[in-house]
Amino acid sequence: MRALIFAAGLGERMRPLTEHTPKPLLQAGGKPLIAWHLEKLAALGIEEVVVNTSWLAPRFPELLGDGARWGLRLHYSHEGPAPLETGGGMLHALPLLGDAPFLAVNGDIWSDCDFARLPREPDGDAHLLLVDNPGHHPGGDFVLGSDGRIAAEGETKLTFSGIGVYRPSILEGWRGTVDGDPGSPPRFRLAPLLRAAMARGAVTGEHHRGRWTDVGTPQRLEELDRSLRMQA
């Protein structure tokens, strides 16, 4: 199994911290956010990890190198000066990910989730990890049914954690989700494809009740850093 780390975002809400450092490279608990993911992926036995980049892209190989210190082989999928969104970024990285299911994780989150819990062969196009709704996102994203299937709409929504396992087939039909010219390479979001897959019952999931942080503001980064240093 290979893995993809989404790291191409501009980090606009984190400025001025991200003026010279991409958000996944900001430190929490004494190490870059992305390093927490790399350690867990290596522990899982994954050897090949793709990191998609855009904003301040050269900083990633400068700080992470080729991944050897974690026992990994890092590949960088550079998207150009403007990020391609989640769907476009995944499509752009697909030649490096291959034909098998892969694990994908947002580079700007932190979680104590054990990646080994996630299925290596999802029952459908995707398997998503959902978490309790944080205060900054009370409405949630998706509904987890008692059968383990995820629906786009329903009464009790949970928040998508930014962690999931995908089959490349999730990207089939992406062109139909884009109005107008998607550009080259194409820029589009993954969410419409996920919702379409949910409508045909092709997305499963689970509820992670442990720790999870979307590091979307300097305050949340500071709180996470303090918490991790206290438990060290």
- Reported as a single tens digit per residue, the pLDDT across 100-141 is 999 999 999 999 999 999 999 999 999 999 999 999 999 999
**Are residues 170 and 194 in contact, defined by beta-carbon separation less than 8 angstroms?**
yes
Q: Once rounded to an integer, what is the mean pLDDT over residues 201-213?
A: 97
| Cβ-based burial of 121 (10 A; exposed 0-12, middle 13-18, buried ≥19) | exposed
Q: Residue written as tokens 């855009």?
A: 54
DSSP state of 25: G
pTM: 0.96
